[in-house]
Amino acid sequence: MVKTLVLAEQNKIGSVYDNDTVITQLIIERGTYHIGDIYIGIVETVLPSINAAFIILDYSENNGFIHINNLGHLKKKTNSTNITNHLSCNSIVMVQVLKEPNGQKGPTVTGDITLRGRYLTLLPFEEDIFFSRDFESNENIVYLRLLFTLLKPKSTGILINKKAIHASINNIIQDFYSLLYEWDSICHNLNYQSAPFLISRNKNFISKVLQKVYSEKVDTILVDSKQGSKKIASTVTRWIKQKNNTLSIKYFENHNFFVRDYNLDLIVYDLLQSRINLLGGGYIIIEKTEALTTIDVNSGSFNYLNNPRETILLVNRKAAKQIARHLRLRNISGVIIVDFIDMKNQQDQLALLLHFDSFLKQDEQRPRIIQFSELGLVELTRKRQGRSLLEMFSNSNGDLSNRSCISSIVSQSYVGHTALLDTCPIYSR
């Protein structure tokens, strides 16, 4: 299926569309802290009662939180399970953002420092070669293990990702040396500033989105600046394998184009609403509490079928598809409880679960159905990766201001033509 990637770099919004119409992925960056950012921080408080510590990362923001299980390279060579034997107040530490802030809570940080590339992850404080869990080819494992045994420094570890299976050796090696250069730059900058400070931002927005969503199925990329189009071209041309592949990269030097033609502001606004209407008259209500997310499915005015059992199953199947989609678009994580319309027939329950699971498998965060409870509730979990859409646009009290929502999504437009200013295919072959 052909895909179009739209990158509004100025507004830090990336979106993927199938056949130019249906949005399938949404990436938004907001706030100071982002997953993967590396800080040189100062230990402010050590709490032995909970085996954790608070670390100053930025004097103007909330402190980072680290648990003894996440100390990584900060853990001294001792088997002590008391954090006071590993960290002390006012000590200077290198940590990486593991989870972004949530409400009044600051970011969760870790001492397990990693630098992620497209095919590899560099582990500066490890020494071994690892393979991701979904790496299946034994022949490739042996070859790549031998290759990096020769290439990598003894004091550096490597995690080889699944994408490396289908990549050329030249691209994998290029990725490796790029990560080594990045780590060398971090080490070089250690002595030039006083803690606390940000020593490494986890890639620029365009590179981050491309690494996350780009594949050979993307045939058009639209971006809001000429400079952005050059960044895309220089990155993507290294990844394309097929010589007959045609990729169109276009830039539009009018940020209103993305708002007008792709309705990015209205898409985000709709995704912040609790109600989702289904075709035919049913609807879904999504509610977030501090502990979990509840999703309620209702038939509404849906009455296309005369058979109640078939009607209920059809509404539930429609809802399952939309729920899986909105979990991904809204980046809802943690414990999720779905209250589908009650079904007495166990065959229908199994059919619904299989249908639901088929859509959940398309999510890279791997939501997992735990059980279909006796009360007819489907319980599932989804791995947390960054803040949810609701968290991004809520105030400090967790309330969403609808009036300011759109204005906070879209930056102030400047004086200029409302039509397309320039279009340039940067890369095409």
CA distance 353 to 275: 22
Q: Express each pLDDT in 338-387 by its tens digit.
A: 999 998 888 999 999 999 999 999 888 889 999 988 888 999 999 887 88
Please answer whether residues 98 and 35 qualify as being in contact, where contact means their C-beta atoms are separated by less than 8 angstroms: yes
Residue 427 clears pLDDT 50, i.e. is over it: no
Instruction: Note whether 346 and 278 are same-domain residues.
Output: yes
pTM: 0.78
Instruction: Note whether 103 and 19 are same-domain residues.
Output: no
Q: How confident is the model at residue 68 (pLDDT cuts 50, 70, 90)?
A: very high
Instruction: Note whether 318 and 362 are same-domain residues.
Output: yes
Percent of the chain with pLDDT over 70: 87
CA distances in angstroms from 45 to 60, 80, 125, listed in the order given: 17, 19, 25
Please answer whether residues 43 and 259 qualify as being in contact, where contact means their C-beta atoms are separated by less than 8 angstroms: no
Identify the pLDDT of residue 404.
47
- Region 391-399: mean pLDDT is 68
Identify the pLDDT of residue 199.
92
Virtual torsion, Cα 147, 150, 152, 153, nearest 10 deg: 170
Q: Express each pLDDT in 173-222 by its tens digit.
A: 999 999 999 999 999 888 888 889 999 887 788 888 998 888 888 888 99
Instruction: Note whether 16 and 70 are same-domain residues.
Output: no
CA atoms within 13 A on the CB side of 37: 25
Full domain range(s) for residue 9: 3-29+204-264
Query: Lowest mean pLDDT: which of 252-256, 275-279, 365-369, 396-400?
Result: 396-400
Instruction: Note whether 293 and 369 are same-domain residues.
Output: yes
371 in any annotated domain: yes
- Region 57-69: mean pLDDT is 92
Instruction: Note whether 287 and 378 are same-domain residues.
Output: yes
391 in any annotated domain: no
Residue 407 clears pLDDT 80, i.e. is over it: no
Instruction: Note whether 357 and 307 are same-domain residues.
Output: yes
**Domain of residue 97, CATH code:** 2.40.50.140
Instruction: Note whether 139 and 153 are same-domain residues.
Output: yes
Identify the pLDDT of residue 54.
96
- Domain end among 162, 178, 200: 200
421 in any annotated domain: no
Identify the pLDDT of residue 289.
86
Split into its structural domains, the chain has a count of: 4
Q: How confident is the model at residue 420 (pLDDT cuts 50, 70, 90)?
A: very low
CA distance 98 to 111: 9
Identify the pLDDT of residue 421.
26
Instruction: Note whether 298 and 369 are same-domain residues.
Output: yes
Q: Express each pLDDT in 280-325 by its tens digit.
A: 888 999 999 888 999 999 988 766 667 888 888 999 999 999 999 9
**Domain of residue 318, CATH code:** 3.40.630
Give the highest mean pLDDT range of 4-18, 101-115, 320-334. Answer: 320-334
- Region 410-415: mean pLDDT is 36
Identify the pLDDT of residue 397.
56
394 in any annotated domain: no
